[in-house]
Every structure is written in C-alpha cells, then in structure tokens.
Amino acid sequence: MKHRGVEAAPGGTLAIQVSNRDHIQGGEKALSTLVEYGDYECPYCGDAWAMVKELQEQLGNKVRFVFRNFPLTDKHPHAEHAAEAAEAAGAQGRFWEMHDLLYQNQEALEDEDLAEYAAELGLDAERLIREVQAGAYSARIREDVDGGVTSGVDGTPTFFINGVRYEGSYDLDSLVSALKR
C-alpha cells in the first residue's frame, strides 16, 4: 500500500523510526519504547493517557514514551487545533505540559480554552493562538499522520512497542506485560 508516495511498513511495523523530531519522555537507554498515535479529542485516547501515566509510574526509566499526532478530524472537530496547540506549546518548550492539560480537559478544546491553558502554563497565549489559527504546525502534524498511515494506523489510540504494532488488550496489566517482554 502506498500513501503519498511512501510504501507502507510491512506487517504492522513502525514506518518512521523514533528520532529527535519526536516528543519523547524517558531516556534512550530504556528497555522498551512505546509510541502512541493519538487524538486529543478521542475519549479512548483520554483513557490511554491515564493508563500511560500509570505505566510510566510503574516502569520508570525502563520505558521511553513517544507521542505522535493523529487527529481524526472527521469525528473530532477540535482535534486538529488541539494538536496545533500542543505543537505550539512545544515550540515554547512546554509540549508535555500542554499535552497533559489537553487530555485532562478533553471536553473544552475551543480556541479560547487553548488560550487559557497556554496562559496557565505561562506561555505566550496570543502567539500560541495565532499559530494555531494559522496552522503553523500543520506540516508537522501531517508528517505524523502520514507516518501513522504508512504504519497501518487507522484509529486512535494505536500503540507500537519497539517498532511493532501492539495488538493486545488496552488495559494496564496487558500493556505493562507486553513492554516487559
């Protein structure tokens, strides 16, 4: 399968390897790398966010977590702007803080809400909203989406463990077991 001229990755593997362009929590020497393709307005991703937080507490430096944007704009009208806000916050050095606020406030993702979250984080809220409305990070978000599509992502959340798509149950114990393997 081809998407925008890129061959699909074989057999449920990650097409775009983790690199310094990614948003990463945890060290390079972690035993496992968990990559999530997520959507800030997706309720299942909200559940996954809480589960990943618990997983990080349990496994500490044994796991490296990577988040990539995969806004499902046909189902979630605020997902694209939320992804833009996270990237805009990242440009101001606060990606993970905005990422967490967006998941904690999934029911409030209007531009006014995004500006409030930026101000709460001590960011330049006017700049953030200008960038969100201009689609300043749309190319980066599109790269994440294209990489997800070529990796076989068709919904959110989708996880990859050490480059292989995770097909198990989406509960904490199953995910922790898979990461420990």
pLDDT confidence of residue 5: 41
CA–CA dist 89, 74 (Å, integer): 24
Query: Is residue 77 helix, strand or coil?
Result: coil
The pLDDT tens digits of the residues spanning 102-126 come to 999 999 999 999 999 999 999 999 9
Whether 93 is covered by a domain: the verdict is yes
Eight-state DSSP code of residue 13: B
The pLDDT tens digits of the residues spanning 12-41 come to 899 999 999 999 999 889 999 999 999 999
Whether 67 is covered by a domain: the verdict is yes
Whether 41 is covered by a domain: the verdict is yes
- What value, to the nearest 5°, has the Cα angle with vertex 165 and ends 82 and 168? 100
Whether 177 is covered by a domain: the verdict is no
Residue 137 clears pLDDT 50, i.e. is over it? yes
CATH number of the domain within which 63 lies = 3.40.30.10
Whether 178 is covered by a domain: the verdict is no
> pLDDT-derived band of residue 8, with 50, 70 and 90 as boundaries?
very low
> pLDDT-derived band of residue 181, with 50, 70 and 90 as boundaries?
confident
Q: Which domain holds residue 45?
A: 2-168
In one-letter notation, the amino acid at residue 29 is K
Rg (CA), the chain: 16
Residue 4 clears pLDDT 80, i.e. is over it? no
Model-level pTM? 0.92
pLDDT confidence of residue 58: 94
Whether 179 is covered by a domain: the verdict is no
> pLDDT-derived band of residue 7, with 50, 70 and 90 as boundaries?
very low
Whether 173 is covered by a domain: the verdict is no
CA–CA dist 140, 158 (Å, integer): 19
What average pLDDT does range 154-181 have in this prediction? Answer: 93
The pLDDT tens digits of the residues spanning 46-105 come to 999 999 999 999 999 999 999 999 999 999 999 999 999 999 999 999 999 999 999 999
Number of separate domains in the chain:
1
